[in-house]
Chain A
Amino acid sequence: MFFRMLLRSLRLRQSHSLVAMLAIVVAAAVSTALLNLYADLDAKLTREFRRFGANVLVVAREGKPLPSDVIDRVQGVLTQVTARPVTAVPAAYVIARSSSGEPVVVAGIDVASARSVNGWWQVAGKWPLHPNEALLGKRAAEAFGVGPLSLSYGTHEHTFTSVGTLNTGGPEDSRIYVHLEELRNWTGVAPTLVEASVSGTPEQVNAGIKQLAKAMPEAEVRPIRQVAEAETTVLGKTRSVLFLSTALISVLVALCVLATLSASVLERRRDFAVMKALGSSQRSLNAVFLAEAMLLAGAGGLVGYAVGCALSAWIGHANFHAVVTPRLEVFPMVIMSSLVIAFIGASLPLLRLQKIEPAAMLRGD
């Protein structure tokens, strides 16, 4: 009997049910999408932050070279702490003299990893691929011109071929970049510095730095503050703006749905009165109306969750060119709040209707 009443009510009042469900679907969808985005924000933004390059520096202490397996150890420890891939760039610097006797900084780097970390390096020409090739900073290139470049370090001479010009607007513009191995063959200088690009929240990166400092007491490990501090600020602000927007939109849409649902239950005072006049108990009446509202809310929440996941995936694709994976923990939150809203939306008017005599209601007062 109960179920027949429920089903008939839903079927006969199809358009009413659909409209009420639409309201719930909209609220559930937009909340799901925002919660998914909020949960994924750290991962997405910290990835974007890595465009700014390295954020951790490992420097050899005075007079002690870095151990030969430094790259593996840096990557190993940092990956373990942050659970994300880490790129480490070893580097060595020497001051050499050009054929005219002018001092110039020559940096030996691992070209492939430097290229992937320093995305903003603008290279005209080619990156050095072969041992004897060099990348000249813009100001260095202006000073030395193109063609073979002979440099001396102490008594050792070496000739490089300039294959590209580097423009950064930073100190790199005054330097000459060559392969690390070639620099070592020429000058015997081993890497003294490793720059690592670690994605992860500022807290994770700090934990990684602490861990690494403990694992490598022979070197100094420190964050690149310019990058790290700005990241903390920007991530924090974005997080709060998104959090407040999510809260605001979810709460207001929920209230909006609450108003719609209350109105639609209130409108059925006639049904309510007729059933009561026919001898139905208050409890079974409440049960029918509540069950109807909850059924709509459950279905609406389900559809809304699916629509919301699609919406967040689309936003992630359109804005970050990456997928925002639907969060499973959002699902119970959304379904539960849909049910709670439906419950409140139906019980408030029911409480009012209880106090009114069926006869008065049917007369139209």
Chain B
Amino acid sequence: MFLRLVYQSFLRQRRRKLLAGIAIALGMTIATAMIAVGMDVGDRMNQELRAYGANIVVYPQEDTLDVQVGGVNLKPATAGAYLQESDLPKLKHIFWGHNILGFSPMLPGTVDVNGATTSIIGTYFAKPIPVNPEDVFITGVRKTHKWWNVRGEWPQDDSTDVLAGRRLAESWQIIPGQSVVINGERHRVSGILESGAEEEDALVAPLSLVQRLTGQTGKVRSLFVSALTKPEDDFARRDPRSMSPEVLERWSCSPYANSIAYQIMQALPGAHAEQIRQVAQNEGVLLARISGLMLLITLSALAAAVLAISAAMAASVLERRTEIGIMRSLGANTTVIAGLFVLEASMLAVAGGILGFAAGTLLAQMIGNRVFSSTISVEPVLLPFILLLSLVITWLGSAAAIRRGLRFSPAAILRGELV
């Protein structure tokens, strides 16, 4: 009997159910899409913030001071210490190796071009590094220095082509494709580099070429590392040397810029790694602001969805007071009536929740594709949560209206006094 009532109710009042169901589905679409986007936006923005470039710098422990003004490093070539190029693949083997998105070694030096002493910087552009037999990691300035803009072509890492800095190219009046004579050898200038910084006064060339030209085989002066990190908190600022083993383990297992730098120092012998504070510190704050904004918006959207669904449910129950009156005058007890309404609401909630989850997933993916050109995946774990949310909201939304309906005497309702 009870089930027949529910069944009939769905069959006869299809339009009314449809509209309440649509409201629930729309509300749950908002909830699903915003939870998915809101939870993912932090990770996505962290990736985007890597546009600020390297956040960790590595140099030899024993190094002397850099004497660098306006791109010209006046440090004597013989002074200072070096890192070994052969050690670099070890970076990808540290605990947080997967968080290292790219690194670029730098080897500054001076060469003779047409009798004038000119600065030259050796680096990787997009060099494949074998990490393990089946995994090749491509890294270089094209990943860590995304603001470098090249007119012409980037040189190949195994070629002898070079890039000329913008101001250097202007004073020599050369264009991409022409050649320059470096230390008596002809080299093609494949492109002009615009970086907005000191590299514009220098030549930039593949690392192996600069090592050969300056006689520093296998050596690297410094290393810029771009890593995905977690914004710094009080725990991150603690000194690892004063920690107990358990605390140190917990500290190392959080991808703070400091702990990644610490692991790099342990992996590379004789190296000193440090966070670049301008990038590392500020991007943490920026990230916190952007994800905080999205979190608050997600919460507001959830609240709006909850209220809108409650209103829809309350409206749909309020309209059915006459029905409640008839049922009561026919002898149905209040539990049965309330049960009927709650069961109906639950069925709507589940149907609307499933529909909303599906639509919300699609919308979240659309936003991911449009903005970040990558899919935002919606965890299947979210489905039971959305269904539960949908159930609770519809119950709460209809509860007040059902109770009101049951409180009045059926005679009054049927006479129309309260309608």
Contact = CB atoms under 8 A, between A and B. Distances in A.
Instruction: Determine if chain A interacts with chain B.
Output: yes
Interface of A: 12-13, 15-16, 19-20, 22-23, 26-27, 29-30, 33-34, 37, 44-45, 48-49, 51-53, 57, 93, 95, 102-105, 118-122, 139-140, 143, 167-171, 173-174, 222-230, 233-234, 237-238, 240-242, 244-245, 248-249, 252-253, 255-257, 259-260, 262-264, 266-267, 311, 315, 318-320
B282 A20 contact: no
Given A174-B68, A319-B289, A241 B371 contact: yes
Interface stretch (B22-30, B114-122, B130-138, B174-182): B22-30
Given A27-B304, A169-B274, A51 B282 contact: yes
Nearest to B282: A51
The 9 closest A-B pairs by CB, nearest first: A225-B196, A267-B319, A23-B311, A230-B51, A30-B304, A263-B19, A229-B147, A169-B276, A174-B66
Contacts of A48: 285-286, 289
A159 B395 CA distance: 79
A253 B372 contact: no
B276 to A, nearest CB: 4
6 contacts: A15-B318, A30-B300, A170-B57, A234-B290, A244-B371, A256-B308
Interface string B277-321: 111111001100110111011001101110111111011101100
A245 B367 contact: yes
B367 A244 contact: yes
B293 A319 contact: yes
Given A167-B277, A249-B34, A237 B372 contact: yes
A120 B16 contact: no
A26 B75 contact: no
Contacts of B318: 15-16, 19
Contact of A52 (B27, B30, B282, B404): B282
B167 to A, nearest CB: 9
A226 B53 contact: yes
A227 B196 CA distance: 10
Given A33-B300, A264-B315, A105 B68 contact: yes
Given A168-B277, A230-B147, A237-B371, A249 B301 contact: yes
Contacts of A49: 286
B311 to A, nearest CB: 4
Interface size class of B (residues with CB under 8 A): 35 or more
Given A19-B315, A170-B57, A260-B311, A227 B195 contact: no
Contacts of B37: 241, 245
B282 A237 contact: no
Contacts of A29: 304
Contacts of B11: none
A118 B371 CA distance: 31
B277 A170 contact: yes
Nearest to A241: B371
A53 B281 CA distance: 12
B197 A224 contact: yes
Contacts of A230: 49, 51-53, 146-147
B294 A20 contact: no
Contacts of A253: 26, 30, 304-305, 308
Contacts of A95: 67, 69, 74
Contacts of B286: 45, 48-49, 51, 234
A93 B66 CA distance: 14
B290 A143 contact: no
B264 to A, nearest CB: 13
Given A226-B52, A241-B41, A315-B297, 10 more contacts: A20-B315, A22-B307, A30-B303, A169-B277, A229-B51, A234-B51, A241-B371, A249-B297, A267-B315, A319-B296
Given A19-B311, A48-B285, A253-B308, A259 B67 contact: no
A23 B308 contact: yes
